[in-house]
Amino acid sequence: MTSRNHTSHCSAQEIPSAFAHVIGVAVVLSILIVALCLSACSTNQPQADPAAQSADKSASTPTDDSEVSEALVIYLQNDEALFVDQETNTPYVPTLPLGQIYDAEGKHINANDLAVGNIVQVSGNGIMLESYPGQYPGIARVQVLEQGNPADADAYADVVEMWAGGADANAAPYASLEYSSDLGQITLSLDANTTDDSEVVSDSVLDATITAPTEATLSFSHVPTTVTIECVSVAFDGQGKIVESTGAGTTPVAFTQVESDRFTFDIEPGFLYEIEAQFDNGEADFAFHTLSK
């Protein structure tokens, strides 16, 4: 009796021990199988080109080139440039992307290989910083489309002088009006009215085409001492001339001075806006209208 009980007790201890051993072996095999699968998957993955990896590490220009536009090069000096958007006629300062400038044949060139008059394709994120001229730091690529004509930049001599060289204190002042429309950001170059007639010559007045009230920014080449802005309701007559609407009167326009030479104010469709500015070297009058021809 004693011997049988002892044998039965020993068997009860050995069974769980054997079972645990089997489980342990199964776990080890599972780990090995998973490790082998991971190794095989990693081996089958395509490897990146070392040259491409090196290029990625050395890239210092934006990669977002979702916005594509065309521009005229109107100024180049060392690494500084000034472009004019061909659709909106808006000047801006581009941050030229290092290593991502190409000629018309697609070959890499340097920034100083560009030329005034070039028509270029600009690819970037489309974000323009608010200033005058605007600044475009998010350019990813610039490519020359046409050699162009340097004389095409002459029309923007006042913008170049304002931005690059500063205005001559004795030169005639000029102004620029910047606003947004359905076409994008628009800039008008306003020449001073030099006629003795107090009436604005309609043929020389630029059209700020808008369909709804919008904010505009007025910038001067010289710092004015005083500025007055007035508006009057107008329309086109049968000969296409601008005439005051019946019973219309001149109304002062409120504005905000944001910098010494920059002012913001609201403009509305259907008006003639007249600007009188006093400078250290005299007075200048400017005008524009908001009639759509």
Mean pLDDT value of segment 266-272: 95
Q: Which domain holds residue 13?
A: 2-45
Per-residue confidence (pLDDT) for residue 86, from 0 to 100: 93
233 and 265 inside one domain? yes
* Residue 175: per-residue pLDDT: 87
Does the pLDDT of residue 224 top 50, yes or no? yes
pLDDT reported for residue 169: 60
Q: Across residues 144-162, what is the average pLDDT? A: 89
- Rounded CA-CA distance 275/282 in Å is 14
Q: Are residues 120 and 200 in the same domain?
A: no
Per-position DSSP letters for 233-271, written without gaps between them: EEEE-TTS-EEEPTT---EE---EEEETTEEEEEE-TTE
Q: What is the pLDDT of residue 38?
A: 43
Beta bridge partners of 219: 176, 262
- Tell me whether residue 237 is in a domain: yes
The residue with greater pLDDT, 167 or 175, is 175
User: In 10 A of CB 94, how many CB atoms?
Assistant: 22
pLDDT for 37: 44
Backbone angles phi, psi at 174, to 5 degrees: -145, 170
Q: What pLDDT score was predicted for residue 192? A: 81
Residue 165 lies in a domain: no
What is the number of domains present in the chain?
3
CATH number at residue 131: 2.40.50.140
CATH number at residue 200: 2.60.40
pLDDT reading at 203 higher than 80 = no
Do 190 and 280 fall within a single domain? yes
Q: What number is the average pLDDT over the span 168-189?
A: 78
Is the pLDDT higher at 238 or at 235?
235
High-pLDDT (> 90) share of the chain, %: 37
Is the per-residue pLDDT at 54 higher than 50?
Answer: no
Q: How far apart are CA 190 and CA 179, in angstroms?
A: 13
Identify whether 29 is part of a domain: yes
Assign 168 a pLDDT band (cuts: 50, 70, 90): low
Asked whether the whole model's pTM tops 0.85, one would answer no
Q: Is 247 exposed, middle or buried (0-12, 13-18, 19+ CB in 10 A)?
A: exposed
Decide if 124 contacts 65 (C-beta within 8 A): yes
Q: Does 62 map to a domain?
A: no
Domain annotation covers residue 54: no
Asked whether residue 248 falls in the same domain as residue 216, the answer is: yes
Residue 44 one-letter amino acid: N
Confidence of residue 167 (pLDDT cuts 50, 70, 90): low
- Is residue 129 domain-resident? yes
Name the pLDDT band for 122 (thresholds 50, 70, 90).
Answer: very high
pLDDT value at residue 165: 63
Residue 280 belongs to some domain of the structure: yes
